[in-house]
Amino acid sequence: MLAEPSEVSDHATALPVLPFAPTASDDLQEPPVLPVYAAGTYTDELAGIIWAIKERSRPRLCRYFGPGFGRAITAALQHETAPQHETAQQRCILVPIPTEASSLHKRGFWPLAQFLKHVDLSGPAYHLLEISQSPKTRRSGAQKLRNKSARASTLRGRFQINDVLADSLRARPVVLVDDVLTTGATLAEGYRVLTAAGFSVSAAAVVVATPAGGRTPVLPRNQLTGESP
């Protein structure tokens, strides 16, 4: 894990563009995208541990990511707020990216919830986003194997707002949280649904992010097959 969280917005190509008023000096600059902070990089040992958590059902390993993930979340909460302004930070709410029922059934646990369980935070995460029950969101195959456009296409309409919570929380800024950042398409869809419902999404935090350029690490054969080295 990184000693300090890293802003990894330039690693992902599908993050949402933030509202801005371009000026003449912005002509040669990239428009601002959602700031994302990561606790580590999805390569080598960290990739192997994440793989073991998700594919070998080892939720106890999530505890090793707690301190680093907590620092990444704190950085996201402080993105537009000076550290001493505690009141403004406390107003922010964490909104985790939900998981599919099929994934929950397969693993028997929700990896992101396990990561958050080991983060020392003063406030809870609110489940403002839910998986949509619309048939058009059904898909097959691993999302991480899709390219940018395919990921965005399959994610469109995947989430819906939890109306029970929305009315009481709408005035509070949101920080999205997820486990692995690849293209940013999942965060972009969460951002789209929340902003369409009137929420202000200020930043996001993830456990790990793929390296710049989006290269997904190739795991050793023994990890892919479960064989001993």
Q: What is the mean pLDDT of residues 197-216?
A: 86
Angle, helices 148-155 vs 185-196, to 10°: value is 40
Closest CA to 163 of 184, 193, 141: 193
How far from 19 is each of 22, 46, 59, 98, 215, CA to CA, in Å?
10, 34, 38, 25, 28
Considering only residues 140 and 1, tell me which one the structure prediction assigns the higher pLDDT: 1
Residue 33 confidence (pLDDT) above 80: yes
Residue 29 confidence (pLDDT) above 80: no
Q: Give the integer Cα–Cα distance in Å for 35 and 141.
A: 28
Residue 73 confidence (pLDDT) above 80: yes
Tens of pLDDT along 101-136?
999 999 999 999 999 999 988 778 999 999 997 655
Residue 54 confidence (pLDDT) above 70: yes
Other beta carbons within 10 angstroms of residue 118's beta carbon come to: 15
Tens of pLDDT along 167-183?
999 989 999 999 999 99
Q: Give the integer Cα–Cα distance in Å for 9 and 209.
A: 10
Mean pLDDT of all residues belonging to the chain = 83
Using the structure block, give the residue that is written with the tokens 């594919």.
Answer: 55
Chain-centroid distance, C-alpha 189: 11
Using 50, 70 and 90 to split pLDDT, how confident is the model at 222? very low
User: pLDDT value at position 137?
Assistant: 45
pTM assigned to the model: 0.83
User: pLDDT value at position 3?
Assistant: 84
User: pLDDT value at position 209?
Assistant: 97
pLDDT > 70: what percent of the chain?
A: 75
